[in-house]
Amino acid sequence: MSAFSNIRRLLHAARVLAKHDALVPREYLDRMPASAKFARSILGLGAGAGDLSLPPGARLARALESLGPAYVKLGQILATRPDIVGDDIAGALQTLQDRLPPFPKTDAIAVIESEFAKPADGLFASLGDAVAAASIAQVHMAETREETPRRVAVKVLRPRVEAEFARDLSAFAFAARMAERVSAEARRLRFIALVDTLAASVALELDLRMEAAAASELAERTKSDRDFRVPAIDWDRTSARVLTTEWIDGTPIREPAALAAAGHDPKRIAVLIIREFLTQALRDGFFHADMHQGNLFVDADGRLVAVDFGIMGRLDPAMRRFMAETLGGFLARDYRRVAQVHYDAGFVPAQHPMDTFAQALRAIGEPIFGRAARDVSMAKLLQQLFETTRRFDMPLQPQLVLLQKTMVVVEGVARSLDPDFDIWEASRPVIEQWMIAQVGPEARLRDMGEGVNALARLARDLPQLLQNAEVISAMLAGGGLRLHPETVRQIAEAQAQRSRYTRAAIWIAAGALGLVALGMIGL
């Protein structure tokens, strides 16, 4: 999109935010520079846009919902970045509801027929009205056209949703680039990386084959878990814009009374939710990152069933060990150990004394011990931990941000089922079992085996390594390293290509700045 188009879309968003008093909220007006106050007066305020008595975060959430799908997704990303929007705003954005009115069933049928190049009634004997609708897609209940029909859930992308997201993401990227060019604070907060994260997340959600693959992978990883399952994928009726899975007959988690009426103990389900989430994160390094009430059910056998796999989180082995040792250290009140884990991972620069960092961790952990279970929040502890590590110059860890965001949601779901829920006692067996598996005798033997294999590979490659060393030594003795002529030519071409790209980037940047200046003058 052109700079003018981006500016026009951003101005529209700014006016909507201003009408909700969410762009420069009056509560923060005394801290704002004169330019911000002037912009606030120009853009207008509260022109019938909603309840201005709401707190700033709630007003921002309402404004983002009114702006459409891309802004809802942006708000969900900002909810994980209290360093940008502040703790109060981030907390309010956690409540953003990804719900929209459904689009007509006839449009859904058109998408299905376009994807599979055949009439919809050749795939489905029946297709009901939408049972759930969000910013990207909506879900219909259907029956397959087979000798033995099966009930299935059919998820269909909204018509033209890709183009709508592309326009708004272009505007977001434009704003992020401009902000980082003029603001050191924007560069520190990595606005461009924030938009890149949003764009990558949306790209995955806009291809329903990726969601199907995520569900399939999670099902494979958790197939031995007795109390958790994933709906089966119908690959014959799945494409980029249509996802078909088995229909789940279960009781929604959001209805504790219905759970009890169906013979399920809500307190048991609360424990199950936390343990399953931590098991996925620590044992598998692959977890459902959108475990809100609408995506969780309990089947007739008492198993937890998850749906909607558009947002998944991954933790590599090093990050899983870091997370488990951090939580385990807090459980044991061993703050020095928690500090050591951060330093071993290279997350806290060495110029900060470890004892000072351990003291800061103690200030987080001690207040939670001896308190009632209902007053102790693991999600809050993780949030305080990340705030503290930022003060000690720990860089943002995207894997942990998504984990902490999901923990907030999961903990809230568990407490809705059991207000006295003790998240620490529920979590302890999972954390301790994982730690034993990682650092116990069996793990030591496994590590020794891996070490032996590594030595064997080194011994195998040693003759070639020695030969390479002799060749390099001879070259150095003869006046320096000599590259093959073809290699020299490729390096020269690559360097010239990079120089052309660099010059082009400079001119593009200069042109964009000029367009912005013209646009602002026109305002």
Question: What digits encode the pLDDT tens for the residues 9-23?
Answer: 888 888 888 888 777
3-state secondary structure of 245: strand
Assign 44 a pLDDT band (cuts: 50, 70, 90). Answer: low
Q: 140 - beta bridge partners?
A: 130, 154
The mean of the pLDDT values for the chain is 79
> Cβ of 271: how many Cβ atoms within 10 Å?
21
Q: What is the pLDDT of residue 389?
A: 75
Strand ordering across the sheet containing 124-133: 124-133, 137-144, 151-157, 242-246
Do 374 and 419 form a contact (C-beta atoms < 8 A)? Answer: yes
- Which of 38-42, 83-87, 221-225, 481-485 has the least mean pLDDT? 481-485
Question: Which of 174-183, 262-271, 318-327 has the highest average model confidence (pLDDT)?
Answer: 262-271
- Say yes or no to pLDDT of 189 above 60: yes
Do 285 and 317 form a contact (C-beta atoms < 8 A)? Answer: yes
What end-to-end distance do the CA atoms of the chain give, in Å?
A: 20
Q: What is the pLDDT of residue 276?
A: 95
What average pLDDT does this structure show over 239-268? 93
Q: What is the pLDDT of residue 182?
A: 84
- Tell me the two tokens of residue 159: 């018509």
Amino acid in the structure at residue 345: A
Strand pairing class (296-298; 304-306): antiparallel
Which among 377, 275, 289, 280 is positioned nearest to 320, based on CA atoms? 280
3-state secondary structure of 257: helix
Q: Give 104's DSSP letter.
A: P
DSSP characters over 274-311:
HHHHHIIIIIISEEES---GGGEEE-TTS-EEE---SS
Query: For the range 326-333, what are the long-range contacts, defined as Cβ-Cβ under 8 Å and sequence gap of 24 or more?
Result: 326/385, 327/378, 327/427, 327/431, 328/431, 328/432, 328/435, 330/361, 330/364, 330/365, 330/381, 331/424, 331/428, 331/431, 333/365, 333/366, 333/369
Which region, left, alpha or beta, applies to residue 393 given φ > 0 means left and ψ of -120 to 50 means alpha? left
Assign 491 a pLDDT band (cuts: 50, 70, 90). Answer: very low
Question: What digits encode the pLDDT tens for the residues 91-139?
Answer: 778 767 667 789 999 999 999 999 999 999 999 999 999 998 888 899 9
DSSP characters over 470-515:
HHHHHHHHTTS----HHHHHHHHHHHHHHHHHHHHHHHHHHHHHHH
Q: 153 - beta bridge partners?
A: 141, 245
496 vs 98 pLDDT, higher one: 98
**What gap in Å lies between CA 297 and CA 250, rounded to an integer?**
5
The answer to whether residue 290 is catalytic is yes
Q: 252 - beta bridge partners?
A: 297
Q: What is the pLDDT of residue 264?
A: 94
Q: What is the pLDDT of residue 502?
A: 40
**What gap in Å lies between CA 73 and CA 96, rounded to an integer?**
9
Counting residues of the chain whose pLDDT is more than 90, the rounded percentage is 32
Catalytic: which of 290, 344, 393, 420? 290
Q: Whole-structure pTM over 0.75, yes or no?
A: no
CA quadruple 265, 267, 273, 278: dihedral sign: negative
- Tell me the two tokens of residue 322: 């870091």
| Number of helices followed by number of strands (H, E) in the chain | 21, 10
Question: What digits encode the pLDDT tens for the residues 366-378?
Answer: 887 767 666 767 7
Question: What digits encode the pLDDT tens for the residues 263-314?
Answer: 999 999 999 999 999 999 989 999 998 888 889 999 999 999 999 998 898 9
Assign 88 a pLDDT band (cuts: 50, 70, 90). Answer: confident
CA quadruple 15, 21, 22, 23: dihedral sign: positive
Burial call 364-400: b when 16+ CB within 10 Å, e when fewer: bbeebeeeeeeebbbbbbbbbbbebbeebebebbebb
Task: Give phi and psi for 447, each to the nearest 5.
Answer: -60, -40
Assign 218 a pLDDT band (cuts: 50, 70, 90). Answer: very high
**What gap in Å lies between CA 136 and CA 242, rounded to an integer?**
12
> Cβ of 9: how many Cβ atoms within 10 Å?
20
